[in-house]
Amino acid sequence: MNEKYLAGFIDADGHLSARARKGARPDLELSIAQRAEYRDVLDYAQRLFGGAIREKFEGRNLELQMRCGPARKAMERLKKYMVLKGHHAEQLLSLVKGSDILRTDEDVRAFREQVKVIRRQGIETLPNFPPRAWLAGYVDGDGSFSAKVCSKTGYAYPKLAILAAPNYTAGIELIQKCFGGKIWQNGDNFQYSLHLSQPSKAKQFLGYFSKHLYVKKGQAYFLSGCAKAGNFRDGKAVNDAIKALNAQQHRLSDPTSKAATLIKTVNFDIQKKPCNWVGRDKMKRQSNLHPM
Q: What is the pLDDT along the chain (292 residues), one digit of tens a residue?
A: 899 999 999 999 899 999 999 999 999 999 998 888 788 899 999 999 999 999 887 778 899 999 999 999 999 999 999 999 999 999 999 999 999 999 999 999 999 999 999 988 887 778 889 999 999 999 999 899 999 999 888 999 999 999 998 888 999 999 999 999 999 998 889 999 999 999 999 999 999 999 999 989 999 999 999 999 989 999 999 999 999 998 876 666 778 888 999 999 989 888 887 655 444 444 444 444 444 3
> What pLDDT is stored for residue 165 in this prediction?
87
- Ordered by start, the domain boundaries in the chain are 3-120, 141-263
Q: Which CATH number fits domain 3-120: 3.40.228.10, 1.10.10.10, 3.10.28.10, 3.40.800.10?
A: 3.10.28.10
What are the backbone angles phi and psi of residue 192, rounded to the nearest 5°? -115, 140
pLDDT for residue 287: 44
One fold for 3-120 and 141-263? yes
CB 38 within 8 A of CB 19: no
Q: Which of 58, 62, 5, 1 is nearest to 31 (CA)?
A: 62
Q: Find all residues with CB under 8 Å of 158, minimum gap 6, and list them.
A: 145, 146, 147, 195, 196, 197, 202, 223, 232, 238, 242
Provide the 3-class DSSP secondary structure of residue 175.
helix
Which residues lie closer than 8 Å to 216 by C-beta, 6 or more apart?
Answer: 139, 140, 143, 144, 145, 249
Rounded Cα–Cα distance for residues 181 and 172 (Å): 9
**Termini Cα distance of the chain:** 66
Q: Which fold has domain 141-263?
A: Endonuclease I-creI (3.10.28)
Contact 257, 218 (CB under 8 A): no
Residue 266 neighbours by CB under 8 Å, 6+ apart: 226, 229, 234, 237, 238, 241
3-class secondary-structure state, position 107: helix
